[in-house]
Amino acid sequence: MSLRPRLLQNGPMPLASLDRDLAEQFDIHRLDQEADRAGFLAAHGAEFVGLVTGAGTGAKAELVRALPNLQVVSSFGVGYDALDEAALVAQKVRVGYTPDVLNDCVADLAFALLLDVSRGVSAADRFVRRGEWAKGRFALQTRASGKRLGIFGMGRIGSTIARRASGFDMEVGYHNRRPVEGSPHAYKDSLLELAAWADYLVVVAAGGAATRHLVNAEVLDALGPQGFLVNVARGSVVDEEALVQALQQGRIAGAGLDVFEDEPRPLPALLELDNVVLAPHMASGTHETRRAMADLVLENLHHFFATGRPKAEVPWSAAL
């Protein structure tokens, strides 16, 4: 019998080397390779003390309840809205995730999207490739430097984006549920106030029911016809239908989107718009960051089995 902790892996990891590391360091079973998952869990669910998953895959209540001896979850990702909090808390399961190590790369992509949609980089690339440069000049675009940057969600990533903004001489304002103690940036009492103030509204707020569609038609109208939206958080935070209408009608100037409500299927109308830059949920997708995230997935597990707590716990798990 193996002395290694028996863990269930809820699908392949975004990094193949992490799949190999997990298999080498733990007694791992891949649930996604079972033809009859419900039958397998009914027969073997009590064998597992740990679950490895990802921010997109998560862990539904049904799966958590099928693992009566579950002690720890280690999730690849900074988002935890796909993890069923109620079910995990009810079973007193410790939950680790991978914050901080992806801050820089997410902030970098947020600024890449901001600059791209503002200066029309992707649209200009298409313009040149279509041979249109020989027929006339590319349309004038919008300067980013010196503008107002509104950050919805001034957490770890939001703070990193704010530091990037200083290099572009941008004035930064933000909205959270409450002001950040010691922040040098202007706090806005509401998302609507932030949008009305900002030239660029960058969404970095957590996903989940509490933030669903907070960026709605009213917020987009407050951002206005010279304003740009950038979303590197969760697609659920933005009302995608309202965003399409605002873009089509010129009620905002453009958008840079790394996340969508129904991934990997953005609304078809978004694909037809030239004032939108679309990315395939790739903000943390660098060799360096994905390896650091993988290392933290492993470290969370080893730390739990040594001390009873993952190294980096989601807030509601840390409160257990």
Residues classed as catalytic: 234, 263, 281
Residue with tokens 């958008």: 255
Asked, as a colleague might, if the bond just before 264 is cis with ω within 30 of 0, I would say yes
Exposed, middle or buried, 124 (CB in 10 Å: 0-12/13-18/19+)? middle
Q: What is the DSSP string of the chain?
A: ---SPEEEE-S--SSHHHHHHHHHHSEEEEGGG-SSHHHHHHHHGGG-SEEEEETTT-B-HHHHHT-TT--EEEEESS--TTB-HHHHHHTT-EEE---STTHHHHHHHHHHHHHHHHHTHHHHHHHHHTT-GGGSPPPP----TT-EEEEE--SHHHHHHHHHHHTTT-EEEEE-SSPPTT--SEE-SSHHHHHHH-SEEEE----SGGGTT-B-HHHHHHH-TT-EEEE-S-GGGB-HHHHHHHHHTTSSSEEEES--SSTT---HHHHT-TTEEE--S-TT-SHHHHHHHHHHHHHHHHHHHHHSS-SSB-HHHHT-
Alpha carbons within 13 angstroms on the beta-carbon side of residue 156 total 12
Residue with tokens 């410790």: 94
Both tokens of 230, joined, read 């950038």
Residue with tokens 């873009």: 247
